[in-house]
Structure 1
């Protein structure tokens, strides 16, 4: 007997949930196309080397072998686009969007699937912060359209931790270890690692650092009490400026997290997440990664990207789903030519496949739709 269970972490999609997801995808595509984003589709399989700068072990990717070459089911959709841009002669700047499947093996007992549908955008070739602002604009649009404006945008910066720690030590391993404990909010271990530095100029800030997250005005007020290294203060100034712009969007709450890990290791500037207080996971995630293309070509290109968890957005989005009710057309097999003509004239009809008229009438009554039939003259008539 054939095995009928699915591989661990996979799922089937059907019915209204699949239909809702498809409708949401269509509306998202319409929005992005209105704003001059070009669709790009990359294959599920990529050479493992494409993700050489990506922590495949941490991401728990699916590894395969193709003609003795190591390949993976893509655990990320940004790096394949970087690979595409490096191997195709595209004029930049350009804005892309994608919708596709991403595969990564979820941690045991996490309750998460290993396959998820992700949508996203890549804005390549723009150095201005306006690229980040377009991401925030789109999040705000989707928040108001589908979530009654409940999405909070949380800002951070991928370089902030290094800007602070570079002023304390040149030991790369120590800096990496401090960042790990900081990002994981492992306060006891973090306190042990910063102990040699708490008597210095940054001591008070270091002790407060893991708790510097929340409402942007509160966090900025707390940070203003400390004398930060010049590079770190420049980042704070930039975050304050961006937060000020963000608050001009309608119904848009803003927060800061100065102790959050960047979404990926390749981020180089402002990072952000979009979440709702009644949802444990974030719906949107992204930021700036100006050196990403250097992995594939000599010339770097400025870039900002954003991923959208389409599975989660489908689950929580609140919008009217069109549910067209098609009336039924009962026919005999020899009437197929008439069926074609009638369905062209009446596009709201769908074919009734019951064997006999009585069964067709029962089906129409169950579905609360009208039933029509084709008479001997090839004309349509009411058969309800």
Structure 2
């Protein structure tokens, strides 16, 4: 007997939920195309080397062999786009968007699927902070359209931790360990590591660092009492300005987290997440990665990207999907030509596939719709 169960972590989609998801996809595509984003689709399979800057072991990617070459089911959709841009004569700057499947093996008992549909945007060749602002505008518009404006934007910076730790030590391993414990919020281990700098003028800041998250105004007020290294202070100045701009969006609250890990190691500047208090995971995630293309070519390009979890957005979106009820048309096989003409004129008709009129009547009664047939003249008439 053939195996009929799905592989672990995969899912079928059907009915109202998939209709809702497609409606959101269509709405998103229309919105992005109106803002001059161009769609790009990349293959599900890529060579493993494409994801050289992606922690494949941590993300638990699916690996396959293709003529003795290791290929993976893409666990990320940004790096394939970087590969495309580097291997094609594509003029920049450019605003791109994608909608596709992403595969990564979820942790055991996490309740997450290994397959998910992700949408996203890539703004490549734009060094200005306006690229980040366009992402925030997209989040705000989608939040108000589908989630009653409940999405909160959390800002961070991928280089902030390095800006602090580089001023304290040159020990690369120690800096990485401090960051690991900080990001995990493992306070006892973190405190043990920073005790090495007890006599440093950054001691008070280091003690407070794991708690520097929350509303932007609160975090910025707390950090203003510390004297930071020059590069770290420059980052804070930029985050202050960006948070003020984002707060001008309609119904938009802004948070700040200075102790959060960047989404991926290739991020180089501002990072952000969008989430709602109603759910535990985030709906939007992105940031700036100006050196990404350097993995595939000599010259890098400034870039900002954002991923959208379409599965989660579909699950939480406040969207009514109406199921239309079409009347049914009973026909004889030799009337197929007339059927085509009638259905072109009357769109709210679906074909009745019953073999006889009696069964067709029962089907119409069950569905509570009208039943039509075609008379000898080829004209439509209602069946009583």
TM range (shorter): over 0.9
Does residue 219 of structure 2 align to residue 209 of structure 1? Answer: no
Provide Cα deviations, 1:337-369, integer angstroms capped at 9, x if missing partner.
111111112122111111222222222222222
1:299 match: 299
2:327 match: 327
2:253 match: 253
State how far apart, in whole Å, the 2-side matches of 1:378 and 1:348 are: 18
TM-score (norm 1): 0.99
Q: How many matched pairs?
A: 384
State how far apart, in whole Å, the 2-side matches of 1:274 and 1:363 are: 47
Per-residue deviation, 1:143: 0.3
State how far apart, in whole Å, the 1-side matches of 2:323 and 2:264 are: 40
Does residue 62 of structure 2 align to residue 53 of structure 1? Answer: no
Per-residue deviation, 1:198: 2.8
Q: Is the 8 A contact 1:284 1:309 kept in 2?
A: yes
State how far apart, in whole Å, the 2-side matches of 1:198 and 1:277 are: 37
User: Map of 1:58-77 to 2, 5 A cutoff?
Assistant: 58-77=58-77
TM-score (norm 2): 0.99
Per-residue deviation, 1:371: 1.3
Per-residue deviation, 1:379: 1.2
1:243 match: 243
- Deviant stretches of 4+, over 3 Å: none
Q: Is the 8 A contact 1:198 1:207 kept in 2?
A: no
RMSD: 0.8
State how far apart, in whole Å, the 1-side matches of 2:145 and 2:325 are: 25
Per-residue deviation, 1:61: 0.2
Per-residue deviation, 1:322: 3.9
Secondary structure of the equivalent of 2:265?
A: coil
Per-residue deviation, 1:327: 1.3
State how far apart, in whole Å, the 2-side matches of 1:59 and 1:256 are: 26
State how far apart, in whole Å, the 1-side matches of 2:63 and 2:96 are: 27
1:338 match: 338
User: Map of 1:139-178 to 2, 5 A cutoff?
Assistant: 139-178=139-178
Provide Cα deviations, 1:134-189, integer angstroms capped at 9, x if missing partner.
00000000000000000000000000000000000001111010000000111111
Q: Is the 8 A contact 2:20 2:319 kept in 1?
A: no
State how far apart, in whole Å, the 2-side matches of 1:367 and 1:302 are: 57
Secondary structure of the equivalent of 2:272?
A: strand
Q: Is the 8 A contact 1:126 1:302 kept in 2?
A: yes
Does residue 193 of structure 2 align to residue 193 of structure 1? Answer: yes
User: Map of 1:1-384 to 2, 5 A cutoff?
Assistant: 1-384=1-384
Q: Is the 8 A contact 2:16 2:321 kept in 1?
A: no
Q: Is the 8 A contact 1:198 1:206 kept in 2?
A: no
State how far apart, in whole Å, the 2-side matches of 1:360 and 1:205 are: 77
State how far apart, in whole Å, the 2-side matches of 1:26 and 1:369 are: 29
Secondary structure of the equivalent of 2:42?
A: coil
Per-residue deviation, 1:278: 1.1
Provide Cα deviations, 1:69-125, integer angstroms capped at 9, x if missing partner.
110000000000000000001110000000000000000000000000000000000
State how far apart, in whole Å, the 1-side matches of 2:111 and 2:265 are: 25
State how far apart, in whole Å, the 2-side matches of 1:361 and 1:259 are: 67
Q: Is the 8 A contact 1:37 1:97 kept in 2?
A: yes
5+ residue gaps, structure 1, are none
5+ residue gaps, structure 2, are none
Secondary structure of the equivalent of 1:83?
A: helix
